[in-house]
């Protein structure tokens, strides 16, 4: 008998593992949901202590079962197709499988009323270098500078195979993955990038997808000025040489601010325009739209072809409402992020 955990429990296990505090995860050798626990007696026999995930990180275990089972079901058991594409599960131990990142997104699309931006944000966490697991305050640093557990390309490939097998939720997952971006270093970077690049029908400004934390090397003529061999702009549009830096809490001390100033000076010397967005800018829609208006004026000096349309957009009351809904869904109580 095996225990297959659904996406909520799986996301907690993945996040805790990525911090280095939980068990290592390995691709499961099978994608067939067989010998799944599906009765109340069986699920109650599950020893959650073997997961190595604290109770404050994962409050409740949710289980998957084959849709061919007709046994005595419990409320926390969810149906799923018995056959899934390879790579559907990660192995915690011999008895416990959890959903792989792409299947987490598919299951979230199937089991919840998650919006497309929320699903895209979930994908960007898996493809980024941070985890939003709830951890003790003294271990909060463990949630950053992590290795991505999947790429957007890998998750899209799995969702495409799942759709061919008729797995419910895969169509919505594919639509969300279209807007996800690799390389985000924090959840607020994810929110900023999505709000700027999602199409207006989803509340975004509609800019092209930026690059997140991709290395940029100084030209040969600039190497004598630059202090580093490469830089990683937070949110970067190479076509316009514009970088948006997110200033989080770790930028509040003087040492970090000094590092930021030196880094910004180097980027400016390389011909890159640097704008800074803060947590305060994201707290209210009005503040973020003011920031977007500044970004549009910089784009106007860089030959962006849609400046007039963008200017009209940020002054439109309907766009204001749409972006307010987007920011609320990503930052408010309805967000799927943990912690």
Do the Cβ atoms of 174 and 160 come closer than 8 Å?
Answer: yes
Average pLDDT over residues 52-73: 56
Read off the pLDDT of residues 217-235 as tens digits, 9 standing for 90 and up.
Answer: 887 656 666 677 788 999 9
* 107 band by pLDDT with thresholds 50, 70 and 90: very high
**CB within 8 Å of 10: residues ≥ 6 apart:** 90, 98, 99, 100, 103, 104
**Degrees, nearest 5: CA angle 59-183-211:** 140
Read off the pLDDT of residues 252-299 as tens digits, 9 standing for 90 and up.
Answer: 666 677 777 888 888 888 889 999 999 889 889 999 999 999 999 999
CA distance from start to end of the chain: 32
Give the pLDDT confidence score for residue 259 in this predicted structure.
73
pTM of the full structure: 0.87
In 3D space, the residue among 149, 161, 153 whose CA is nearest the CA of residue 26 turns out to be 149
Which alpha helices (H) appear in the chain, and where do they start and end? 7-18, 40-44, 101-111, 116-126, 152-164, 170-177, 187-197, 254-269, 279-283, 285-301, 307-314, 317-331
């Amino acid at each position: 008998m095996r225990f297959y955990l659904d996406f909520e429990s799986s996301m907690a296990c993945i996040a805790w593992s990525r911090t280095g505090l939980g068990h290592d995860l390995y691709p499961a050798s099978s994608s067939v949901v067989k010998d799944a626990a599906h009765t109340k007696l069986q699920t109650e026999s599950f020893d959650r202590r073997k997961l190595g995930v604290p109770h404050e990180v994962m409050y409740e275990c949710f289980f998957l079962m084959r849709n061919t089972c007709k046994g005595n079901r419990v409320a926390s058991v969810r149906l799923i197709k018995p056959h899934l594409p390879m790579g559907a599960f990660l192995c915690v131990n011999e008895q416990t499988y959890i959903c792989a990142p792409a299947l987490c997104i598919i299951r979230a699309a199937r089991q919840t009323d998650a919006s497309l931006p929320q699903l895209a944000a979930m994908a960007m966490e898996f493809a980024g270098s941070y985890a939003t697991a709830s951890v003790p305050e003294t271990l909060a640093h463990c949630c950053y500078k992590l290795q991505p557990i999947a790429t957007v390309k890998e998750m899209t490939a799995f969702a495409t195979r799942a759709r061919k097998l008729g797995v419910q939720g895969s169509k919505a997952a594919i639509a969300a993955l279209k807007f996800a971006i690799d390389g985000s270093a924090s959840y607020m970077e994810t929110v900023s990038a999505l709000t700027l690049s999602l199409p207006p029908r989803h509340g975004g400004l509609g800019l092209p997808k930026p690059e997140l934390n991709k290395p940029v090397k100084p030209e040969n003529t600039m190497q004598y000025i630059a202090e580093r061999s490469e830089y990683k702009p937070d949110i970067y549009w190479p076509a316009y040489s514009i970088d948006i830096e997110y200033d989080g809490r770790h930028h509040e001390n003087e040492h970090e601010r000094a590092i930021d100033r030196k880094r910004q000076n180097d980027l400016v010397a390389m011909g890159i325009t640097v704008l800074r967005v803060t947590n305060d800018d994201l707290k209210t829609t009005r503040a973020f739209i003011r920031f977007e208006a500044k970004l549009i004026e910089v784009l106007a000096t860089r030959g962006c072809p849609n400046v007039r349309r963008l200017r009209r957009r940020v002054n439109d009351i309907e766009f204001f409402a749409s972006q307010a809904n987007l920011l609320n869904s990503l930052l408010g109580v309805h967000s799927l992020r943990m912690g």
